[in-house]
Structure 1
Amino acid sequence: MSDSTQVLDETALLDRIQAAEGAGRDILDAATREVIGRAPVQDISDVDAAVARAKAAQPGWEARGHDERIALLMKTADAIDANAEALARLLSREQGKPLNGPNARFEVGACSGWLRATAATVLEPQVVVDDGEVHAEMHYRAVGVVGAIGPWNWPMMIGIWQIAPALRMGNTVVVKPSENTPLSVLAMLSVMNDVLPADVLIGVSGDREVGARLAAHPNIDKVMFTGSTATGRKIIESSAGNLARLTLELGGNDAGIVLPGADPKAIAQDLFWGAFINTGQTCAALKRLYVHDSIYNEVVDALKDVVEQTPMGNGLDEKNVLGPLQNKAQFDIVARLVDDARANGGRIVTGGAPASELGELFYQPTLVADVADGVALVDEEQFGPVLPIIRYSDVEEAIASANQLEFGLGASVWGDRDEARKIATRIQSGTVWINSHGGVHPMIPFGGVKGSGYGLEFGVEGLKSVAVPQIING
């Protein structure tokens, strides 16, 4: 642990974390497909060693108390800020998101901001009975060792969503980044570990076998996972063996409902970013849009104007705000769903094909109109730069459509605020935004229902989720 903040360039960050020459696994630039660096490839024995170290360090970390942990987390935020540009450039290359817009620089800034907000969040003991005869309080203590398994779409920011509250409450954390985007996360952990005590925060880089071992490890007390519903179900099965507590943020296929009377031009920009943030690769992005027949064509036209004015390309080019898909598997899903929608009568308003002139994994930002429930693009999560737009005539139809799928992460309603709020209460999702979509705040709890998982993150509820309650009675 060092009291001085080190400022590193991208090369120095990579030198710290990547495997030795001839070892590890090549990680490719999402835009150019050139090698960025070599990710370490660790195995089950490395997981076991990391968990053992974290378990040994946990009592001492908890014993430091809230004030000292808060101070150290504030310093980690300073360290991230000091290295923000190098981290953002590495993230942009590895994940594909451009530097500008709500993308790489935004994500790195969110990491330090979330650390500070989480560190400053107060969780006081709660007096549950005080009637003159009985006095009972509920306190919250560290759960122990947290296994944090992250995704590839917002690898650093979602990593901090898991790490910050866990450390704040006195847990130690073993982080398993996605095998698609390990370098940016390992670089962030390295910067944080310039401040933190040894073995409080440990990264383990490997494949799904490594993640599975971490989730099932007998000395893991809590698992935080963001990823697919299918993998989430496997983690639930693993938790039967170690009785680990779980926070699962799983798949989403968020619906938006545009009410009659909404102003198409006024909402078009926000609708666009609700759907296309991070080139559509966001769990709580707007993924299917239901628009009332009375303004359907106007909404389609207004969105088309925004899409066609938004620059896409290599993320290191300062003018771009949309980038490539992060990996070939996801690119293939997007292409398949658009082709299927076209074959089933969908009208390609704009886009609808690979942007091969930009690179292997670029797909044109695409709007598909005149589709309906039952078409794969509507019913499946596309996780890419494509938005299906579905016409409805009765708001009851739209509500039923919004609720029909297994997912329930987020949703949005657009139009008169009072009417929208009434409709919001009838939608089965963890969050419903009014006249916006996808915004998160460190003090506003966030989590899904149904197949989108369970458990809350952020704010006081997020701290409780990485702690165990203890009743002091007397």
Structure 2
Amino acid sequence: MWIDGAAIGAKETREVHDPANGELIGLAPVGTATDVDRAVSAAMRAQADWGSQPDEVRAETCRKLAGVITQNSGELARLLTREQGKPLKGIGSEFELSGCAAWLGATAEMSLPVKVIQDDEAARVEQHYVPVGVVGSITPWNWPLLIAIWHIAPAIRAGNAVVIKPSPYTTLSTLRMVELLARELPDGLLSVVADGPGVGEAMTTHPDIDKIMFTGSTATGKKIMAAAAPTLKKLTLEMGGNDAGIVLPDVDAKAVAEGIFWGAFLNNGQTCAALKRLYVHDDVYDEVCAALTELANAVPMGEGLDENNVLGPVQNAMQFEKVSRLAAAAPEEGGRVLTGGSARGRTGFFFPITLIADAKEGMACVDEEQFGPLLPIIRFTDVDDAIRQANSLDVDLAASVWTKDIDQGREIAERLVAGTIYVNKHGEVAPHIPFGGARYSSMGVEFGIEGLAACANIKIYNFAKA
């Protein structure tokens, strides 16, 4: 671990294994609530000075951190591939590290200037943004380094200190990245405490952590919200998404297939805003199914360090078992397996891309967020009913409409419930575009000026003139 400017060991460790082949990668420390206390105390001391630094100093620091990521991306990418399973090349670990550097660089160029609300003969009223204080970051295993930066960059840029707890499934790569970044910062400004008994609870209930940023499941987000309530922490929660796509009858199936495919299977489907329910009009249903099947059968899957592979394993046993369960239940519930459907007889958590045709609402693979390489395809004839079905669940990060008629796409987009509605693409995020969900999928917003402002408090100066 890295706490208060120093490497900190632990009394206990646990083994970390490569999800592609089961090989032992290394040992991760097991953190404790005492480690959290130490990290938070250091963060409070460091933040007192950091919060008073000029805006340009904080901006230049984010630029410097982007350089640190770039300089060490080779080491971090290989460690990430071994630990998380995603391929090194393509839209894999190297892509994730380039995103980390890009996000830090983009955040450096954002600012929260003073806003003059009133300036007349009676008064001058100014709105300032001031740091929240200490931010606790809790990150997941699917994009562990990028999501850590999504938390760290705006928090540091806005003048806060950060204590981060990585997922127990992807501890090693996060520990190493945070160490590299923290060495360039004042001691205590950025610390990382590995998961262990009581660590999550210690963070969410700690009286001196002022804000929690969390990315993960809705169920865990609810627990964090309840735990944080007694200390009235500010919260940014990005949670589950069972995101729908609607394909209208005017599309060219082959033209849209690749966008739909990667909208669903980027990072092996282990992405919060991935396309997870596909509603296709009867007129083009068979053509879309055929085009997606052809793509699925052509994508090489295997160990991530082999540069020929485009997809890797499911990251952990729990998620592998969930995808296996949903795939096995689909034929029993009336679904038709187009490709995949069961795990191959090989070492590691490999599950083939699985397309389920003739899926219907009420099936487990439709109603549950799969978070893996499985996509149910639902036939419709009435677009109003497709919209109803798309809106029928309560975890809505994103949705998409696929059509040649942009006006009709906009009309349908206005009726869909989600934080982001895409037309003729799905899942794209960018540092300058605010991102958040609807209903049970999120609380608050990330990215853009709005995400930066979420890491600050508003302070008003009201000067009387008369």
Q: TM-score, normalised by structure 2?
A: 0.96
Distance in 2 (alpha carbons) for counterparts of 1:19 and 1:122:
34
After superposing on structure 2, the runs of 4+ consecutive aligned residues of structure 1 that deviate more than 3 Å are: 16-23
Distance in 1 (alpha carbons) for counterparts of 2:436 and 2:239:
9
**Residue of structure 2 equivalent to 1:342:** 331
Pair 1:192–1:152, CA change in 2 (3 A): same
**Residue of structure 2 equivalent to 1:94:** 83
**Residue of structure 2 equivalent to 1:402:** 390
Mapped pair 1:156 → 2:145: yes
Gapped regions of structure 2 (runs ≥ 5): none
Distance in 2 (alpha carbons) for counterparts of 1:207 and 1:288:
35
CA contact (8 A) 1:264 1:302 kept: yes
CA contact (8 A) 2:244 2:399 kept: yes
Shift of 1:82: 0.6
Aligned residue among 236, 245, 249 for 2:234: 245
Mapped pair 1:365 → 2:353: yes
**Residue of structure 2 equivalent to 1:9:** none
Distance in 2 (alpha carbons) for counterparts of 1:208 and 1:259:
49
Pair 1:208–1:288, CA change in 2 (3 A): farther
**Residue of structure 2 equivalent to 1:462:** 451
Aligned length: 459
1:64 partner SS: coil
Mapped pair 1:41 → 2:41: no
CA contact (8 A) 1:356 1:363 kept: no
Distance in 2 (alpha carbons) for counterparts of 1:190 and 1:162:
16
**Residue of structure 2 equivalent to 1:261:** 250
Letter in 1 for 2:163: V
Letter in 2 for 1:272: F
Distance in 2 (alpha carbons) for counterparts of 1:168 and 1:330:
34
1:50-449 → structure 2 map (5 Å cutoff)? 50-207=39-196, 209-357=198-346, 359-415=347-403, 416-449=405-438
Distance in 2 (alpha carbons) for counterparts of 1:277 and 1:328:
19
Distance in 1 (alpha carbons) for counterparts of 2:196 and 2:407:
48
CA contact (8 A) 1:41 1:206 kept: yes
Shift of 1:196: 1.2
Letter in 2 for 1:390: I
Distance in 1 (alpha carbons) for counterparts of 2:183 and 2:38:
21
Shift of 1:103: 1.3
CA contact (8 A) 1:17 1:183 kept: no
Shift of 1:135: 2.5
1:63 partner SS: coil
1:187 partner SS: helix
Pair 1:21–1:403, CA change in 2 (3 A): closer
Aligned residue among 8, 14, 17 for 1:25: 14
1:370 partner SS: strand
CA contact (8 A) 2:43 2:190 kept: yes
Gapped regions of structure 1 (runs ≥ 5): 1-12
1:115 partner SS: helix
Distance in 2 (alpha carbons) for counterparts of 1:384 and 1:356:
18
Shift of 1:406: 1.3
Distance in 1 (alpha carbons) for counterparts of 2:39 and 2:71:
27
Letter in 1 for 2:254: K
CA contact (8 A) 2:10 2:30 kept: no
1:147 partner SS: strand
Q: Deviations over 1:343-363 (max 9, x none)?
A: 111110011110233x23000
Shift of 1:122: 2.1
Shift of 1:21: 11
CA contact (8 A) 2:32 2:197 kept: no
CA contact (8 A) 1:335 1:354 kept: yes
Identity value in percent: 51
Shift of 1:42: 1.1
CA contact (8 A) 2:10 2:29 kept: no
Letter in 2 for 1:371: A
Shift of 1:22: 9.1
Q: TM-score, normalised by structure 1?
A: 0.94
CA contact (8 A) 1:125 1:137 kept: yes
1:411 partner SS: strand
2:310 partner SS: coil
